[in-house]
Chain A
C-alpha cells in the first residue's frame, strides 16, 4: 500500500462526524479532568475507557487520545490559577504561571500556555508520523528472543516512574509481574493461583486492576482525610496574549517541543522531566533569565511546550514496538487490546488504516485543543468549584459501572475494590502504583516471549544473544541499569553527607 493509499484508508476510517465528535468530547473531558486537582489526566483516561466499549476501535481510541491531550493541557489551568498542578506534568508551569496570576496576568499566562501547548502538540504529532513507521519497519524482523530483550529493556521504564525510591518502584513492579501470572499457564494451560475460581482462569481483568489502582485509592484518601481542597481561584485579568509575545517565545517553544519529543519517545521518562528540562534550557538561553521564577511568560511557554511535546512522542514506542511510553499510554495500550488490536510493528501491516486514521485524528486534536482550551480557560471557575464531597462519590459510581461493563461480571467489581485497597496501602507506604501497572501489562509479554524463545532453542539460553538486535537491547539494558545503580549510589552518598 502506498503512502497516499494509506492516508486515504485512514481518512475513510475517521472521515465522519462520530470520530471527530469523540475526539472533541475526549479533549473536553481531558481538559476538565486535568483541571480538577486530584483527578489527573491518568484517572480521566482510565474512567473514560469503559465508555469506548460500544464504539468502533478507531473512535474509542481517538476518544482516549483526546482525553490524554486535553488532560496534559488541562493541568496547567489550576497550576496557573491556584498554584496546584492538575497533573504532575504541569509542575514546572507553576514556577512562572502563578507569579503572573498574582500580578493580574493570569489570562496572558493561560493564553501562552494554550498557544505553546498546541504548537508543541503539532510538533509532537508530526514526529510521531515521521518516526513511528520507520521504527516499526525495523521491528518487523523481531522474533521472540528480540521481543524478550526489548521487553526486558522496557522494564527499565520502572526507573523513570518510581518516584523517590527505585527499590520501592522495583517492589511494585514485582507485585505487578506476580499478579500477571494469575490465570491459566500460557503454554501448558495449567492453573496458576486461580484457587479453582473460573473467574480467575483468564487472569485478572486489566481495567479492574487499572481503575482499582488509580481511582479507588484517591477515594479512600478522601475518606481518610475528608478536608476539602483549598485554593483561591484568581481572576483572568484584562491582559491577553499578543502575537508579538508568542513570536518572542517561539524559539523556546520549539526547543521545548523537541525536548518533549526526544524524552517522550524514550519509554518511562514522562512529561514532568521534559517540562523542567525545557524550562531550565529556556532560562539558560533567555536574555530575561533573571525574570524566570518571578512571572516570565517565556517560562510558561517553555514548560508547557516541554510537557505537551511528550504527548504524541510517547505513542512512538507504543505504536511501533508495542511498548507503552508512560502510564497513560499503558492504559491506551489496554484499550487497543480490548478492541482486539495488538500495538506493535504488525499493526503497520495489518491495520494500516487504523494507524493513519489515528495520525489524522491526532493532527485534528491539536485544532480541537486550541478551541476547547480557550473555552476551558474561561470556564475553569465552575470546574474548580465542584465540591469534592460530590465529585468523589460520583467517581466511585462511575468506576463500578465502568468495571462491570467490561465483562458484565460483578467479580471484576470485587477485583477493583480489592486492588483499590492494595493501591491505598501502597500509597500510604509511598510505593508507586505506575510500575505495578506497567509490569502487569508487560509481564505476560515478557514470559511468553521468553518461553517461546526457549521452545525454539530447545531451552538453550544462547538464543537470547543470537544477533545484533538482541545485543543492542542487552547493551541498552546494561547501560540503563548501570546508570540507575550509579544514581542510587550517588543519592546514598549525598544522603550521608547531608546527615553529617
Chain B
C-alpha cells in the first residue's frame, strides 16, 4: 500500500473516531454532575478537547498527504501469503480468546501450556520437541516463582490443582 493511502486512511479514521466521540461516546459514556460551576472543570471538557484535537490531526494528515505524495512502501509479506497470514492471525485471535475463557476454568498453568504449544506450532516452529518441553517447563517455572516467591494467587482451575 502507498504511504500516502495509509496517511489518508488514518486521517479519515481519526476524523470519524473524533465525530463519534463528540456526538455519541462522550455524551453517553461520560457522566457529569449537573452543578459544575464552569465548563472547564467538567469531566466532559477534557475528552471533548482531545477529540477535537484528534479531528484536527486527522485533517492535517489528509492535507499533508495530498500536498506531499509519499513513496511506495514495500510489503513484507507477498500477496500469495497474505491469505495465509490473515488465517494465522485469526487463529491467534481464537487462541487468545480461548486462553481468556479457559484460565478461570482449567487454571493458568495448564492454559499457558496449551497456549505455548498452539502458538509454537502456529508460527511454524522448526523445533517441535523443544516447544513441547518448554511448554511444560516455562509455565511451571513461572508458577513456582509467582505463586511461591511473589505470593500471587495463580488461578488453579476446577480440575488438576498444583501444590
Binding site for B on A (CB under 8 A): 51, 53-54, 165, 167-168, 170-171, 174-175, 177-178, 181, 185, 187-188, 190-195, 219-220, 222-226, 228, 387-390, 392-394, 396-398, 400-401, 404-405, 408, 410, 413-414, 417, 420-421, 429-431, 447, 450-451, 454-455, 459, 488, 491-492, 495-496, 499
Shortest C-beta distance, B87 to chain A (Å), equals 10
Residues on the A chain within 8 Å of B115, using CB: 393, 396-397, 400
CB-nearest residue of chain B to A430: B6
Contact across chains for B92 and A223 when beta carbons are under 8 A apart: yes
Shortest C-beta distance, B15 to chain A (Å), equals 11
Cα distance A455–B40 in the bound complex, in angstroms: 10
Shortest C-beta distance, A388 to chain B (Å), equals 7
Shortest C-beta distance, A193 to chain B (Å), equals 5
Q: A193-B29, A393-B116 are in contact. Are A54 and B150 (CB under 8 A)?
A: yes
Cα distance A388–B50 in the bound complex, in angstroms: 40
A174-B54, A392-B119, A400-B115 given; name 20 further pairs at CB < 8 Å. Answer: A51-B150, A54-B149, A167-B64, A174-B53, A192-B47, A220-B89, A224-B88, A225-B76, A228-B126, A389-B120, A390-B131, A393-B116, A393-B125, A393-B135, A394-B138, A397-B115, A400-B108, A413-B100, A431-B10, A495-B68
Q: Mark B63-104, 1 if CB is under 8 A from A, else 0.
A: 010011110010011000100010011001100100110011
Residues on the A chain within 8 Å of B151, using CB: 54
Partner of B138, one of A167, A171, A191, A397: A397
Q: A220-B89, A223-B122, A226-B124 are in contact. Are A396 and B116 (CB under 8 A)?
A: yes
Shortest C-beta distance, B16 to chain A (Å), equals 13
For chain B, the count of residues having a C-beta within 8 Å of the partner chain is: 78
Q: A223-B122, A451-B41 are in contact. Are A414 and B100 (CB under 8 A)?
A: yes
Main secondary structure of the interface of A (DSSP, over half): helix
Q: A188-B43, A190-B31, A397-B115 are in contact. Are A224 and B77 (CB under 8 A)?
A: yes
CB-nearest residue of chain A to B150: A54
Residues on the A chain within 8 Å of B67, using CB: 492, 496
Contact across chains for B61 and A454 when beta carbons are under 8 A apart: no
Partner of A459, one of B41, B43, B108: B41
Q: List 13 A-B contacts (CB under 8 A).
A: A167-B60, A168-B10, A178-B54, A188-B43, A190-B30, A190-B43, A191-B31, A223-B88, A225-B76, A388-B123, A393-B116, A394-B116, A417-B99
Cα distance A175–B9 in the bound complex, in angstroms: 16
Q: A392-B119, A454-B40 are in contact. Are A181 and B145 (CB under 8 A)?
A: no
Contact across chains for B38 and A387 when beta carbons are under 8 A apart: no
Contact across chains for A417 and B77 when beta carbons are under 8 A apart: no
Most chain A C-beta atoms within 10 Å of own C-beta, residue among B64, B119, B123, B134: B123
Residues on the A chain within 8 Å of B81, using CB: 225
CB-nearest residue of chain B to A179: B50
Binding site for A on B (CB under 8 A): 3, 6-7, 9-10, 14, 21, 25, 29-33, 36-38, 40-41, 43, 46-47, 50-51, 53-54, 57-58, 60-61, 64, 67-70, 73, 76-77, 81, 85, 88-89, 92-93, 96, 99-100, 103-104, 108, 112, 115-117, 119-120, 122-127, 130-131, 134-135, 138-139, 142-143, 145-146, 149-155
Contact across chains for B25 and A193 when beta carbons are under 8 A apart: yes
CB-nearest residue of chain B to A186: B43
Contact across chains for A224 and B68 when beta carbons are under 8 A apart: no
CB-nearest residue of chain A to B47: A181
CB-nearest residue of chain A to B131: A390
CB-nearest residue of chain B to A221: B76
Contact across chains for A171 and B29 when beta carbons are under 8 A apart: no
Contact across chains for B68 and A177 when beta carbons are under 8 A apart: no
